[in-house]
């Protein structure tokens, strides 16, 4: 069963480790402008991540004029760009309702591919302690999560 990539924006502290780690694993350099996930920051208040949901019905894929350029991975469920077929028309970026597809400096399209099922952003997203004064223990939650669908409904 494919996992779900999701986020709890209230736990985003704007550290940008996700976008930096993403650019590092994809391009060998730290450059948030090359991240396949981005952090939207308000200068005075909080932050939230912009990320690909790998939708069940991907509007980006529907908008893509080249059939082989946007495909779904049968194992991970990732909706990913096949760069060799991409014509760089930006239709996917325009169609995404979550602003989760970007254009790189060389006009290549930048989109999450779930790192073959082990997203590096999730791995390094810092977990947050929620202190419980009664038990003096902490419940840990990260902003970015890659979980079984049932875990999304933790309620």
Partner 1 sequence: MAGYGNILYVDLTQGKVKQRPIDSSLRRRYLGGEGINSYLLWEHFQQADPQREPREADNVLIAGLGCLGATPYGAGSKMKWTFKSPVTHMFGDSVSGGHFSSNLRWAGYDHMVITGRAKSPVYLLIQDDKVEIKDAQHLWGLNVMEADDRIRAELGEEVETALVGRAGENQVAHSSISVSRHRSAGRAGGGCVMGSKNLKGIAVVGTRGVAIHNPAAFFQSMDKLNDAFAANARTRDGWKSFGTLIITGHYQRTFVNAFRNQQEPRLPDEKYQKLSHRWWKANLSKGFLSCSPGCATGCSDWYKLKGNESPYAQQHAGEVGRRPEYLGIASFGITTDVPDMPAVAKLTGLCNEYSMDLVETGAICGLLLELAQRGIITDADTEEWWDQPIPLQWGDYATIERMIHSLGNSKDPLGVMFKDGLLRGAQLLEERKGAPVLQYANYGKGGAAFTEELRHRPGWMVNMAVGARGADHLKGMLTMDVKSRGEIALKHFGRADVMDEYLNSEQKGAFTALGESHTAITNSLGICTMLAGSDPIRYPLELFSDAVYAASGLRITPEEMDQAGERIVNLEKAFNSLLGFRREHDSVCYRWQKEGVSEGTGKGWKAEDYMDKALDEYYRFHGWDEQTSLPTRQKLVELGLEDVAQVLDKNSALA
In angstroms, rounded to a whole number, what is the distance separating the alpha carbons of residues 17 and 123? 10
Closest approach, Cβ 136 to partner 1, in A, equals 10
Residue reference for tokens 């730290």: 30
**At its nearest, how many Å lie between partner 1 and the CB of residue 100?**
18
Name the site residues for partner 1 (rule: CB under 8 A): 10-11, 13-17, 20-21, 23-25, 27-34, 41, 43-47, 105, 120, 124, 126, 128-129, 131, 138
CB contact at 8 A, 63 and 91: yes
Whose structure tokens read 């999730």? 122
Closest approach of Cβ 65 to partner 1, in Å?
29
Distance of CA 51 to the CA centre of its chain: 3
| Nearest residue (CB) to partner 1, 129 versus 149 | 129
Report the residue number, 6 or 128, with the smaller CB distance to partner 1: 128
Q: What is the closest distance, in whole angstroms, from the C-beta atom of residue 102 to partner 1 in the complex?
A: 12
Residue with Cβ nearer partner 1 (131 or 149): 131
Q: Could you tell me which residues come within 8 angstroms of residue 145 by beta carbon, excluding any fewer than 6 positions away? A: 4, 5, 6, 7, 8, 122, 151
For the CB of residue 120, give the shortest distance to partner 1 in the complex, in Å. 8
Strands 70-72 and 79-81 turn out to be antiparallel
Complex with partner 1: residue 126 or 149, whichever CB lies closer? 126
Residues in CB range of 132: below 8 A, 6 or more apart: 138, 139
Nearer to partner 1, 68 or 138 (CB): 138
**Cβ–Cβ contacts within 10 Å for residue 9, how many?**
11
């Amino acid at each position: 069963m494919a996992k779900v990539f999701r986020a709890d924006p209230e736990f985003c502290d704007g550290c940008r480790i996700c976008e930096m780690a993403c650019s590092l694993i994809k391009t060998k350099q730290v450059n948030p402008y090359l991240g396949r996930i981005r952090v939207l920051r308000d200068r005075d208040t909080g932050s939230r991540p912009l990320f690909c949901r790998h939708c069940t019905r991907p509007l980006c894929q529907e908008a893509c004029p080249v059939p082989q350029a946007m495909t779904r991975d049968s194992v991970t469920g990732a909706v990913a760009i096949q760069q060799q077929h991409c014509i760089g028309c930006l239709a996917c970026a325009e169609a995404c309702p979550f602003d989760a597809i970007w254009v790189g400096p060389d006009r290549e399209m930048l989109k999450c591919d779930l790192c073959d099922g082990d997203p590096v952003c999730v791995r390094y997203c810092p977990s947050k302690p929620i202190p419980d004064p009664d038990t003096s223990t902490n419940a840990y939650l990260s902003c970015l999560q890659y979980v079984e669908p049932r875990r999304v409904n933790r309620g």
